[in-house]
A and B are shown apart, each in its own frame.
Chain A
Amino acid sequence: MQAFTKLTGVAAPLPMANVDTDKIIPGRFLKTIKRSGLGVHLFDQLRYDETGAERPDFVLNQPQYRHAEILIAHENFGCGSSREHAPWALLDFGIRCVIAPDFADIFHSNAFKNGVLPVRLPREICDQLMEDARLGANARITVDLERQVVIRPNGEEIAFTVDPLRRHMLLEGLDEIGQTLKHSPAIDAFESQLRDNKPWIPEITVA
């Protein structure tokens, strides 16, 4: 996984609540067997009209936001399905951080696994950042995971917190599976107890 330490970039304002995963990446683009290449379909229905032409009023189609690396949104970002294609599409477009009052649980977890940092901040602060973001390329925002602060274009620092383990994994770009496998003896021990304690759990074989 790509590490996330500190990012300074253009933030795109997306003042919508309940941005669901079908909005982020519609189901018909889930037929891929790869993780890459989904950026072109990010926010497909908001971004393109029926003919496939760009909708000029959608934020990511505006020149100043075409290279946005941060997204500011309203409540419950990423609700809906468990598709990891949602953070893959954001990442493929170039977005490394989403700031919102809160996130749906599965999206929140998926984002971390892909080096996309979800930052939870109160609605009033998101609204301030939304105003900053409306200034486009003139107002770059910094997200510093090491210090756990967002720095507004005027220099004001806003603190946020991230689970310590997730922060550590993201700062170091660690392979989570590799970390868990260090605990293999504990997993082995749990498993052998399981066979004694719950022998009623049948093994699956397909005839």
Chain B
Amino acid sequence: MPKTLFDKVWDAHIVEKLDDGTCILYIDRHLTHEVTSPQAFENLRLSGRKVRRPDATLAVTDHNVPTSDRSLPIEDAESRLQIETLERNVVEFGVPYFPLNDARQGIVHVIGPEQGLSLPGMTIVCGDSHTSTHGALGALAFGIGSSEVEHVLATQTLLQRPAKNMLVQVDGKLAPGVTPKDLVLAIIGRIGTAGGTGHVIEYAGEVFRAMDMAGRMTVCNMTIEGGARAGMIAPDDTTFAYVKGRPYAPQGEAFDHAVKYWRTLASDEGAVYDKTVVMDAAEIVPMVTWGTSPEAVLPITGVVPDPAAITDDAKRADMARMLDYMGLVPGQALAGIPIDVVFIGSCTNSRIEDIRAAAAIVRGRHVAPGVRAMVVPGSGLVKLQAEAEGLDQVLIAAGFEWREAGCSMCLGMNPDKLTPGQRSASTSNRNFEGRQGPGGRTHLVSPGMAAAAAITGVLTDVREFA
């Protein structure tokens, strides 16, 4: 029977199938960070268990680390304790760790692929929902809770039931100014935030074949916003070229051996999907969210929708609540909405390609008066690369803050937060109420769109900057 990419990776990791269909699934890579691991390590300690495979595990701090001067002590006592707790745990349990002052430190979903820790055909988990990012390499990668973090630490496996297969097929080419972020926002707008629940989404078609790895990571990253725990793209020459030579990737003969296997992973002709969505890349335009759910998204050329047009009472109430929270009125044009803060960063859009895209828009221009604009690179190495290319100077000259790597304003755990009522154009992944700070209002956009908004001070169609 023809198999999908997901079926193949899944089948290759079944340790044992239990009577009710639940599988003991082997995990090749386990990435951990300071926020969702302390309770897992604590329980291991209490139950006298060890980490089964420290050599398949990597720890890093990213969620609540300050993105300001790293030579200063961490001011927030709780953040400091959480970071120190991870540092104690990695020593006690012998887990490999990139410390805060290491150039390899960064957002866990940026450094996994960057270091070659995430490879095609692997099972990869992390106590973070955006683990779906690593599916860009053709891995089965998904987020888990702290109990499952503990389960993987202790057993290197998880108890899982197989997901259903969903295909998102997009052919055609993206128009100039339209990015993978716009594409994935459009996909979520189409399927809804629960459209992928219970499924693993495979992205296939011309647009993904032509996409670079950074773009594929952006798309797979936001798969969870469409309800699917994992997104996958079949590995191809673009993938292999990306992986080759990375520090933790196989080298020499081992690499060739691996590529031979990785080439077998693409879905078979005639493989069956439980759900299929087909879209045309040429129809996608720059997108922006207007509400407090990633599915509340429209083209930048659109207007704020009207709850009065919704017949379902509960849905109308939800929309009215979103508009009230966002401080928007029906019929208002999305382009032209004034913003206070621009955040370029997060595991969705903090790679060198994203920073280049932002710098290309702001070069020779200046951030609008009253706007706070910041760029937070995804890793120490992304930061160094950007500096080597002079991008930091372009951004700083334009009035941007150039910061240290971390999750930062994506989730408002560290001091980088919106204040109540502040409105952001953000390259992150979630526009939930209070996500970027209590009372903060988030508009999700691509890096180019965020940069354009910083310059004009209002939500702006980036194509006007061409």
Contact = CB atoms under 8 A, between A and B. Distances in A.
A27 B435 contact: yes
Interface stretch (A63-71, A77-85, A132-140, A143-151): A77-85
B439 interface: yes
Interface string A88-125: 00000000000000111110011001100000000000
A26 to B, nearest CB: 5
Main secondary structure of the interface of A (DSSP, over half): loop
Given A22-B432, A31-B413, A176-B147, A76 B197 contact: yes
B20 A163 contact: yes
Contacts of B78: 31-32
Contacts of B460: none
B128 A81 contact: yes
B413 A27 contact: yes
Nearest to B262: A200
B249 A34 contact: no
B58 to A, nearest CB: 6
B82 A31 contact: yes
A168 to B, nearest CB: 9
Contact of A27 (B85, B97, B321, B411): B411
B116 to A, nearest CB: 8
A194 interface: yes
B314 interface: yes
A56 interface: no
A180 B159 contact: yes
A206 B97 contact: yes
B149 to A, nearest CB: 9
A70 to B, nearest CB: 19
B193 A30 contact: no
A114 B147 CA distance: 8
A74 B430 CA distance: 20
Interface string B142-154: 0111111011001
Interface in B11-46: 15-16, 18, 20, 22, 24, 26, 28, 35-36, 38-39, 42
Interface residues of B, number: 86
Contacts of B18: 165
A187 B20 contact: no
A105 B55 contact: no
Interface residues of A, number: 62
B424 interface: no
A205 interface: yes
B48 to A, nearest CB: 12
Interface stretch (B252-260, B270-278, B328-336): B252-260
B161 interface: yes
A34 B50 CA distance: 20
Contacts of B261: 198, 200
Contact of A113 (B56, B82, B145, B318): B145
Interface in B283-328: 293, 314-315, 317-318, 321
B145 A187 contact: no
B129 A35 contact: no
Contacts of B76: 31
B15 A190 contact: yes
A75 B314 CA distance: 10
Contacts of B55: 203-205
Contacts of B317: 15
A200 B227 contact: no
Contacts of B197: 76, 102-105
Contacts of B154: 177, 180-181
Contacts of B15: 183, 186-187, 190
B314 A33 contact: no
A184 B52 CA distance: 11
Contacts of B245: none
Given A28-B412, A84-B147, A23 B155 contact: no
14 contacts: A26-B434, A28-B417, A30-B64, A31-B78, A80-B129, A80-B430, A80-B432, A81-B128, A81-B143, A105-B197, A110-B148, A163-B161, A177-B150, A190-B15
Q: Which 4 A-B pairs have the closest CB atoms?
A: A113-B147, A84-B145, A110-B145, A200-B258
Given A23-B434, A202-B250, 9 more contacts: A17-B314, A26-B438, A28-B412, A31-B64, A32-B82, A45-B433, A84-B146, A105-B197, A198-B261
Interface of B: 15-16, 18, 20, 22, 24, 26, 28, 35-36, 38-39, 42, 47, 49, 54-58, 63-64, 76, 78-79, 81-82, 85, 96-98, 117, 119, 122, 127-129, 131, 143-148, 150-151, 154-157, 159, 161, 193-194, 197-198, 224, 227-229, 248-250, 254-255, 257-258, 261, 293, 314-315, 317-318, 321, 411-413, 417, 420, 430, 432-435, 438-439
